[in-house]
Structure 1
Amino acid sequence: MLLNRLCCFVVVSLSVLGCSDPDPIQRISGPAQGSTFMVSYWSEQQVDKAALEQKLKQELDRIDQLMSNYRPDSVIEGFNAQQSAEPVEVGTELVQLVQIAREVSAHSQGCYDLTIKPFFELWGFRGDKLTKPSDEQIAETKALIGLDKVKTVSHSQLAKTQASLRIDVSSIAQGYTVAQLAKLMDQAGIENYLVEVGGELISRGRKPEQKQWRIAIEKPLPDSQTLQKIIAVEQTQPLAIMTSGTYRHFYDEAGVRYSHVLDGRTGAPVTHHTVSTTILIPDATWADAWSTAFLCLGSEQGLPLADKLKLPVLFIDQQGSSFVEKPSQALTEALASKQAFSFVE
């Protein structure tokens, strides 16, 4: 299975609500990547559900074999185990994901980085106890990581200049998985679907009777599951909705909360007050990377970047016991037009 996410993804589908009986929406679900997946769809044309389910699960298994950081026999772990600067054949998909991550990392000035797993181990976030490292330990670890130490040799080969460097693609692979499952739906001639993997999702078309797909975003509270927003998808073209949050995984020690979201620039947990970020764009792979990057940056640094890149992003900051929503300019404009999506009050 793919590495459990460093952030908590909190998008919940409401697609099953409001359907007539018998329900024309078909569903395929099961375990996937340390979490679950669900594909909801309907079609006026006959669909071989059993054959479709087999293809979806085969694709999940294929991606797991390619990108899982928990499987020593995966392609990505084969690259991580390589202790030299020699090129490694990893396939075009991993090269593509690294390139996307490289661009997002550059825009975030290194806050988002696929190579920061050693920092999590340094802080003890893989165990049950927080271990605060010294400044010297952080500096020593920082010298050993960085996407600049990963070289793209060809369209299917990667190499590293630091032998111990490891790549963790969990912050982008789930979005890629969503996109790949959606591609299978397209190939099957299905034009109305909602694909969800571990809370990350993409929609296309409509529900029966031209009803909108509706997606709920959780209120960023650690001990409850209540709604913060409901998104009604207005457009029929694909729309990926990705949410990242800090509020499920953290340590409290001596009155200080340490988030599991680490800043690649400092090697330390983020200290801002942003607890949730949601991005709504057509490409699920980019959306996954961006939702994590914006959560790392927080609203103070992330909002100007979202505005510069014209990305529709919703930041939610916690101020005491209250939550303050901070939309990017592109999100505000999209909501005003009501052509792509809208918020249901």
Structure 2
Amino acid sequence: MVDEQLDVRRQIADARSIVVKIGSSALTDLSDGLSLPRLDALADALEARMAAGTDVIVVSSGAIGAGLAPLGLKRRPTDLATKQAAASVGQLALAHAWGTSFARHGRTVGQVLLTAHDISRREHHANAQRTLDRLRALGAVAVVNENDTVATDEIRFGDNDRLAALVAHLAGAQALVLLSDVDGLYDGDPRKGAARMIREVAGPADLDGVIAGSGGALGTGGMASKLSAARLAADAGVPVLLAAASQADAALRDAAVGTAFAARPTRLSARRFWVRHAAETRGSITVDAGAAQAISHRKSLLPAGVTGVSGTFSAGDVIDIVTDDGAPQARGVIAYDATEVAEMVGRSTADLPSGLRRPVVHADDLVPVA
């Protein structure tokens, strides 16, 4: 077991390509906004890792936080318009600060702003991938952030932890490092009394009894989002290190600090990963208990097991599959339009016209949500 734990940290320390996510609290505060000394310290740690031969992509939070002080705002806004206004000011300041800081090391910075829509649509997904690959080929440091100036509650990632995990998959990174204001994963809130730090997470069983909270005053993440991001990255075959930004030097040097999350033994294919985590769903279909059981055994979904249709979708779209009581079962690439599926509900394949006898969702296009 000890060897396995060391092996995960060694994988992270030896990774030739990594994504490093930096939380809002590591870069900004409510009174003074963007902290240039803290940003410089992080850039120095990142530069040391790059100088050692590692390809690094930075996912930087802090745009909204960086915009608060210049706009005279005393707290993080709750309404969308003010968030977007703060982000429009903060993104400019944040990009300039990263550019100035890395320029001390002779590095050029390229800013990449993404929304959930950019990742969910295959053609946008490919464009983002090409941009990141080309920036790295040209020797520039890609600094990625959610495009808060245009993202709405319906299309946003929700936190940059999830964005970082998706970018790690998108870029084919070999490790993901999450740097924030916490030094690792605890089984409770360490600010509220005794809590045990969990140094290694080999699988879901190691998270039994863990209570994860939401984000603080400056961010939208929190431990819950970090756990979700670690699970997402694990599906992509990417090990994760969660550590404090103040420990960036050690985290990026030998991964000896924080909590290390092992990747799943068998990684999802790029297509199945996209279906489960990145694709934007266009609707849902409801299935009976028999169909739900068949799905759990990696079998195709047939019309006889479908009990309802919701939303407007076309053949080739990704849809959610739920049981009659609303419990999520899977995501999948639908083979028919919504109007066609509605005509097929509950019917035997033998009773359908020859053009409607394929599975509603083929087993190869089904990905269980659990």
Q: TM-score, normalised by structure 2?
A: 0.27
Question: Which protein is bigger by CA-based radius of gyration?
Answer: 2
* RCO comparison, higher one (Cα < 8 Å, 6+): 1
Q: TM-score, normalised by structure 1?
A: 0.29
